[in-house]
A = this chain, B = another copy of it.
Amino acid sequence: MRILYHLPLSPFCRKVRLALQEKRIPFELRAERIWERREEFMAMNPAGTVPVLQEENGLVLADSYAICEYLEEAYPDAPLLGRTHAERAEVRRLVAWFDGKFSKEVTQNLLYEKQLKRMMGRGNPDAGALRAGYANLKPHLEYLGWLHETRAWLAGAQFSLADLAAAAHLSVLDYIGDVDWTLNEAAKDWYARVKSRPSFRPILADRVSGLLPPEHYDNLDF
């Protein structure tokens, strides 16, 4: 069976899980405690990060960028990157936006400080980082809302990996109760649409021990 090594609250793992679901590629999830630096895992990915995908033929893929590009090449059904050069450029620009800019300005400030630090026993959250994370979330939700008001999906007419990347980050922040959806109505509408896709169900069913999500987390009509 195909195996995805992951962590439930990693946005990069969630993006890959969503892509696999959208393409209806069956896989088994294995939680990898990356901070233990397990020898067999480090041999698969010397960077020591998740996600790592192990195919049934033995091929090992590390890093969510490499995995998603591979999935599109190996399983072209239910395309997630668009067709024309212009469409693909826009999808990838937005994937880079959320996995790079949004991740650095928002996700790392909130998720790392509030959850990962605690889990790895690295002390209390830094108040300055939390403040920066909350402050940065607002303009990002506005940009997302603006994209949704001007296009059917974030990158254009078609649902794409850009929607998955954005939803992966926001779903993690929503799990730890950090998204104030009243900040932007259009962003909330977009998230409600993504959330109601069948590919999202396993993500909404995830529970991390010792940390319950807010009540609206798995509510499709939040």
Residues 28-80 of A at the B interface (beta carbon under 8 Å): 45-47, 59-63, 65-66, 69-70, 73-74
Question: How often does this chain occur in the complex, in copies?
Answer: 2
A1 interface residue (CB < 8 Å to B):
no
Bitwise interface map of A from 84 to 98 toward B, beta carbon under 8 Å scored 1, else 0: 011011001101110
Could you say which residues of chain B place their CB within 8 Å of the CB of A65? 65, 92, 95-96
- With both chains docked as a complex, state the minimum distance between the C-beta of A18 and any C-beta of chain B, in angstroms: 19
Residues of B within 8 Å of A66, CB to CB, are 88-89, 92-93, 96
**Looking at chain A's contact residues, is the secondary structure mostly helix, strand, loop, or mixed?**
helix
A73 contacts B59, C-beta separation under 8 Å: no
Query: In the bound complex, how far is the Cα of B85 from the Cα of A61, in angstroms?
Result: 9
CA distance A61 to B66 in the complex (A): 20
Known contacts A46-B143, A47-B101: does B70 contact A88 (CB below 8 Å)?
yes
A31 to B97, CA, bound (A): 22
Cross-chain contact A74 with B85 (CB below 8 angstroms): yes
Query: In the bound complex, do residue B47 and residue A73 qualify as a contact, i.e. CB atoms below 8 Å apart?
Result: no
Q: How many residues of A contact B (CB 8 A)?
A: 26
Complex: A59 Cα to B66 Cα, angstroms: 25
Q: Which 8 A-B pairs have the closest CB atoms?
A: A66-B92, A63-B96, A61-B89, A62-B93, A66-B93, A66-B89, A63-B93, A65-B96
**Which A residues lie at the B interface, using CB under 8 A?**
45-47, 59-63, 65-66, 69-70, 73-74, 85-86, 88-89, 92-93, 95-97, 100-101, 143
Cβ contacts A to B, 21 pairs, < 8 Å? A45-B93, A46-B143, A47-B96, A59-B86, A59-B89, A60-B89, A61-B89, A62-B89, A62-B93, A62-B96, A63-B100, A65-B65, A65-B95, A65-B96, A66-B92, A69-B88, A70-B85, A70-B88, A70-B89, A70-B92, A74-B85
